[in-house]
Structure 1
Amino acid sequence: MKVAVLGAGAGGTASVAELVQAGHDVCFWARSAETLEPHLRLGGVAFEGKLGEGIARPALITTDLAAAIADVEVAVVALPTFSHGAIAKGLADAGWSSDKPVVLNPGHTGGALEFAESFSRSGRQAPPVVEFSTLTYVARKYRPDGVTVSGRAKQLKAAALRGGADVLDIAGKLFPGLTPVADVIASDLSNVNMVLHPPGAILAAAWVEATGGDFTFYVDAMTPGVARIMRQLDDERLAVARAFGHELPNLIEEMKLLGTVEADVVDTSDFCAAISGGEANRRIKGPDSLEYRYYKEDFGHGLLPFLEFAAIAGVDTPVAKSLYSLAQIAVGTEYRKGGRTAEAMGIAGLSKEQVIRKVRAL
């Protein structure tokens, strides 16, 4: 399959490595020439870890979006969630067909809705959008021309906004191991990072600023107090999902499916032990500052859209509200400015029933 991979961070480079190895014809794009320059020098992406070891050589490496998407069958967007609106507009301006699917790897919370809303503002119908609940990989770029993949999701929730089973089948051929769910609300609310990151990010903020992240986020910072808050936040997530008609696994059960909690964990109510014992995440360092993506993404594009869904569903979420408010104060930002609001997702003023109809429309 001819695929454009958009994004040169850990997710984008890991996607290039997997898709090239699987025999797909890959065009690799990033906005930044500085980011792509090491890959151009190497002629591809160096990779190590769960995907093996080697150099994946895409057919094209470019900063020209129109060239990257020319004649491809599907685009994989592997960018930070706060880039979804901008890349949707960029694809619309570059002439992306409304018939060709876009895969958000990941979509996180509300990604497909925001992408479709932003694309449609071009005056054309948005393409089918497949949304993954979280990134396919646990990966980090420790070198400018390569990626280290310490984990690869075993089962990943995915849903389509338009296109139904056909576009989910295309996404599954690119990224095996997808578990289709009824709609993008279900995939939105299966975003583990929305629950996994905010409690530790807020409660370890002083540690982040004092040490520059010199601690392990999922072990050192996974204390009983953090875990208790995380569990209550997860209960709120499950309540909002239930209000939209979805019964979802709790956080630990979801992470077992992904492979970031060990398969032999029996007590899925013990968040502290289960998360700190996960091999894929255990060596990952804490954020190096309050500008890190746990603060930039997981509040304005994680908890904020979650709070918007909760308000539409009429479910009270005091823990999510408290963490969100504290983050705004600690980071010194107003997440609604440029964040994933109901307006950005195209669901402002809709009832719960209208939202459900919108996400299930063919």
Structure 2
Amino acid sequence: MIHFNLAKTIDNATDLSLMGKMANRHGLIAGATGTGKTISLRKMAEEFSRAGVPAFLADVKGDLSDIVKAGESTGKVGERMAQFGLDENYLSGFPVRFWDVFGQTGIPARVTVSQMGAMLLARLMNLNDTQEGLLNVVFKVADDNGWHILDLKDLRAMLTHILDNAKEYRTKYGNISPASVGAIQRQLLQFESEGADTFFGELALNLQDWVQTNDGKGIINILNSEKLMRVPRLYSAFLLWFLAEIFVTLPEVGDLDKPKFVLFIDETHLLFDNSPKALVEQIEQVVRLIRSKGVGVYFVTQNPLDLPDSILGQLGNRIQHALRAFTPRDQKAVKAAALTLVSLSPRKSDAIKMIAAPAA
């Protein structure tokens, strides 16, 4: 049976590991800033790669790129390795492929407007229901005529075409409001100013480029997200599209001894902040069904309450770092986390103490 060793007990008596066949049950890495979430994410990605499982992770702080380089057993690192009986293999580097939505520090990560779809694009541009309805008309007209909307210039041209031929299309597709067309055009201008024009276009991403191995190790795909995080809606839209694309593209495989691919979603709250109910339901459905594709999804966030209950209920694994409570909402999160862990703790008092612990 395959196990992914993630840590050791302080007395070096027991390995703390994740069962390979449970890795596609999804998971949560939660904890306050500075408590070690990135280290947990990194260690998991390394162990998956070592076992031949490709992974995707977003490098939000720019501190994951050195995963490609082998470490050195000097100083305190060497002392720590000796303490836990680790050999030089522990310090090996891993195959990494760097991606960048803006094409500056990695392979350009691009998708076409048609691939993104009307629902995600409407959310991306903060459209209201009427404007989203018109955007659906644009996509429907393009589909009916076999036209592919590759980039934002194509989308702008389609909006102009729809407006110029409104009388012809109105009887089949419904009302086409010049005001709504103008509003979408203005949103496109703002969107382009944030750098979205570099994201949409060809050559579009091929998912098979992300699910590869090298000399028996899974390739770790790192998306440079330092600049991308300044455009939160673009970051969340890429992740939502990527999840949906994995679900549609990969075949059903059922339960395996180890997953085929693992996805780490950092700054998870950006996926769900101000998301319409229909979009949250779509994410829930993808997370629930993607397990059978052999894919594990791990959400990384400060507060477990950043995720809707419907998503939390799908997560079978958890790494819980320290939580800090400064507000009533924070206190609620600490209590919920403690009660969740009660059944896992040898002594219930260990988990309950989390509730009463003073804010750090």
Please give the TM-score of this superposition, normalised by the length of structure 1: 0.25
| Larger Rg over CA atoms | 2
**Which of the pair has the greater relative contact order for Cα pairs under 8 Å at 6+ separation?**
2
Structure having the larger proportion of residues in helix: 2
